[in-house]
Amino acid sequence: MTTGGAVLVTGAASGIGAATARRLVDAGRKVVLLDRDGEALAALAAELAGACTALTLDVTDNAAVDALPSTIPDDFQPIAALINNAGHDPGGTTRFDQGSAEDWQSAVETNLLGTMRVTRAILPGMVERNAGDIVNVGSIAGLRIVPTMAAYHASKAGVHAFCDALRADLADTAVRVTEIMPGLTKTDLIRRRYRGDQQRADEYYARFQMALDPDDVASTILFALEAPPHAMIAQIVILPQNRW
C-alpha cells in the first residue's frame, strides 16, 4: 500500500470492518469509515478519535455512492486503499423457493452491486495516480456451496468473478486487487440474518464449534496491503482450523 492517502472501509461500524479500521489506525493510517448504521459508526469514530472520518452511507444508495468522492474531506484524500467489506444476508439459511425475493435482492444489492458501485466511484482516482489497492471481502461461500444460502452464494460468487475480471482490466496499471475469502466469522451478520434473534445466531455458531474472530480477517487484510508494491496478494482463503 502506498504511504500517502487514507484507507476507505465500508461496513466499518462493526465486525470485520471495525477490526480492520482499528488495525489500520494502529498502523498509523488515516481511515474513512462508511456504514449505514450512523449510531454505531459515530461510536467507532469517537473511539478512534482524529485518525478517522465517518460518513453514514448505504452502499445500495446509488446516488450517494456516486457522489462519495466529493464528500470525503480533503485531508483524507487521496484514497490509497478501498476495503469493500459491507455485507448482508437477510433471511439466509432458507430454501430458495421458500424465501422472499426482497431478501435475496437485498443480499445481491449489498454484497455484489454495492461492492461494484463503490469500486467504480473510487477506482478512477487510483488509475489516474497509477497506485492503489482494492480489497474485496468475499467469502468461502463464493467457492463452496451449501444448501439454503442460494442468494448469498450467488452474491459472493459474483464478487469472486468481479475480482478476477477487475484484476484483468487493471493489469496494465499499478492498482492491485485482492479478494479475501473468510470462512465462518463471528460478526453481527448472522444475528441480522435472523432479524435480530441473538439466540438463533448463537445456536448457528454453536453448530460449527469454532469461528474466526473479525480480527483474524483484519490481520489478513493488513498482510495483503503490506505486500511489496510489485507483489499482489490476489486471493486469500482463511478458515477456522476445524474446517477443510
Catalytic (active-site) positions: 152
**What are the helix and strand counts (H, E) for the chain?**
10, 7
Instruction: Judge whether 19 and 215 are in contact, CB under 8 Å.
Output: yes
**CA–CA separation, 131 vs 96, rounded Å?**
41
**CA–CA separation, 49 vs 70, rounded Å?**
22
Which are the contacts of 92, defined by CB distance < 8 A and separation ≥ 6?
A: 103, 107, 148, 149, 151, 152, 193
3-state secondary structure of 126: helix
236, β-bridge pairs: 180
The count of C-alpha atoms lying within 13 angstroms of the C-alpha of 61, restricted to the half-sphere facing its C-beta, is: 11
Helix axes 115-129, 150-169, angle to 10 degrees: 10
Q: Could you tell me which of 136, 116, 227 has the C-alpha nearest to residue 182?
A: 136
Q: Identify the helix (H) or strand (E) that includes residue 224.
A: helix 214-225
Which are the contacts of 223, defined by CB distance < 8 A and separation ≥ 6?
A: 233, 236
